Amino acid sequence: MGVIDGVISVTPGWIDKYEVVEVEYDPARVAFADLVKKAETCECAIKVFTRTDEQQKTASKLVGDRAEKTAEKVRVDDDKYYLSKTHYKYVPMTPLQAAHVNARIGQKRDPSDLLSPMQQAVATGATRTTLSPQALPVAIGVDFRKAWKALRAKTGSK
C-alpha cells in the first residue's frame, strides 16, 4: 500500500485480533475505493476497517461483510518488517520513505531510487563495512536527524 500514488503514510499494527495497515492518503490523488481494490488485489483485505459512514458504504459494496466500521485505534507495530531484514535498516529515512522502502522490499523490488545519493551511499556502505553489522546503529523508527548523528558517530564520517 505504501507505493500507491497518493498514499501519505502507512502504519502497521493491530485492531482486535487482526494485523492491519492504517493508510493515510490524499483523497484528491487516490480514492478510498481504489485503495480497497488494491488491498483486494494484493490479498491483504481479509478485513477492511473503516472510519466513516461513507467509507463503510464504499467498502461494503466492494468486500461485503468483511467491511467493519470501528473507532478502535490501531495498536502500532512500527518494526517495518521487510526493512528490518535488510541492510537498509541502517539508512536514516523519513517515516514516509521507510514505509515506501519497506513496501518495495516486500514486493521484492529495488528501493534505491527512493533514496538520496547520500542514503544510497550508506546502504552500499552497510554491505561493505569493516564494522560488524551489530556495530552500526539501526535507524528504523529513529528521528531522521538523530539517526544521521548516530551513524556519523559510529562511522566517524562528517
CA-to-CA dists, residue 157 to 8, 31, 125, 130, 152, angstroms: 32, 44, 12, 14, 5
Phi-psi region of 126 (alpha: psi -120 to 50; beta: other; left: phi over 0): alpha
Cross-strand bridge partners of residue 126:
none
On the question of pLDDT at 2 being above 90, the answer is: no
- Which tens digit of pLDDT belongs to each residue from 63-116? 999 999 999 998 876 668 888 899 999 999 988 788 889 888 888 999 999 999
- Please state whether the predicted TM-score (pTM) of the whole model is above 0.75: no
Question: How far apart are alpha carbons 11 and 111 in whole angstroms?
Answer: 19
Question: How far apart are alpha carbons 45 and 78 in whole angstroms?
Answer: 20
